[in-house]
Homo-oligomer: A and B are copies of this chain.
Amino acid sequence: MRLVVATCSVEYAGRLSAHLPSAVRLIMLKADGSVSVHSDDRAYKPLNWMTPPCTMTESDRTWTFANSKGETLTITLDEVHLDATQALGSEPGLRKDGVEAHLQELLAADPTTLEDGMRLVKREYPTDIGPVDLLCRDADGRAVAVEIKRRGEIDGVEQLCRYLERLDLDGRLRPVRGIFAAQLVKPQARVLATARGIRCVEVDYDELKGLRADELTLF
């Protein structure tokens, strides 16, 4: 990565045209071939940029970046205040533990959020077509399979149905009903679920986090 702080003006001509009058800015040249121009505001957003692949041509005090679509970014350097090149090496990768996993954790910790009297039997309860998010017993002791999604769409309902079909083969569980839990249940998914006798529960993630936090503070 090369970091250049310079007094510069910038032109972008592409899907739109943009002009930046001369001022001191950071020019970030990454190993991936991209360039971005940052001011001291706008948080993480650059004023202008060019994504790879683009070719850089350097002539006198002007850097021009062009891509195959004919878009160009032209930086005219008036004065360079810093020019540092640093080898960063490869990025080991960003691990995102998304909302779905966290939702499962929270609902497993307190299944009564789904329904009064609900008790957890097991998280990731295995079937021969994959694990069910939660297996519970309701207030009457009947088995309930819970599928958890961040966004509840048709696919998720189908998935839950397949699990229910498998679980129903187990005499110790039968009859098993289903609950489809999501932060947001799409109308189409709700229709399908209801038609198949599956209850939909919309869970408020922030509220759930709040509840857990409250409970934790009690102890």
Whether A19 touches B95, Cβ cut-off 8 Å, given contacts A31-B41, A41-B31, A43-B36, is yes
A162 surroundings in chain B (CB, below 8 A): none
B16-A98 in contact (CB<8A): yes
Interface size on A, as a range, is 35 or more
Give CA–CA (A31, B41) in the complex, Å.
7
Rounded to whole Å, the gap between the CB of A27 and the closest CB of chain B is 11
Rounded to whole Å, the gap between the CB of A93 and the closest CB of chain B is 8
Number of this chain's copies in the complex: 2
Whether A173 sits at the interface, judged by CB under 8 Å, is no
Whether A154 sits at the interface, judged by CB under 8 Å, is no
A32-B41 in contact (CB<8A): yes
Give CA–CA (A30, B15) in the complex, Å.
28
A1 surroundings in chain B (CB, below 8 A): 5, 26, 38, 40
Which single member of B15, B18, B39, B87 contacts A91 (CB below 8 Å)? B39
Q: Which A residues are closer than 8 A to B by beta carbons? A: 1, 3, 5, 15-26, 28, 30-32, 34, 36, 38-49, 51-52, 81-82, 84, 86-99, 101-102
Give CA–CA (A144, B102) in the complex, Å.
58
A43-B51 in contact (CB<8A): yes
A52 surroundings in chain B (CB, below 8 A): 43
Q: What 16 additional pairs, Cβ within 8 angstroms, besides A22-B92, A25-B91, A32-B42?
A: A1-B38, A5-B86, A16-B99, A17-B98, A18-B95, A19-B95, A20-B92, A21-B93, A23-B92, A26-B28, A28-B38, A31-B41, A39-B88, A47-B91, A81-B86, A84-B84
Give CA–CA (A81, B85) in the complex, Å.
11
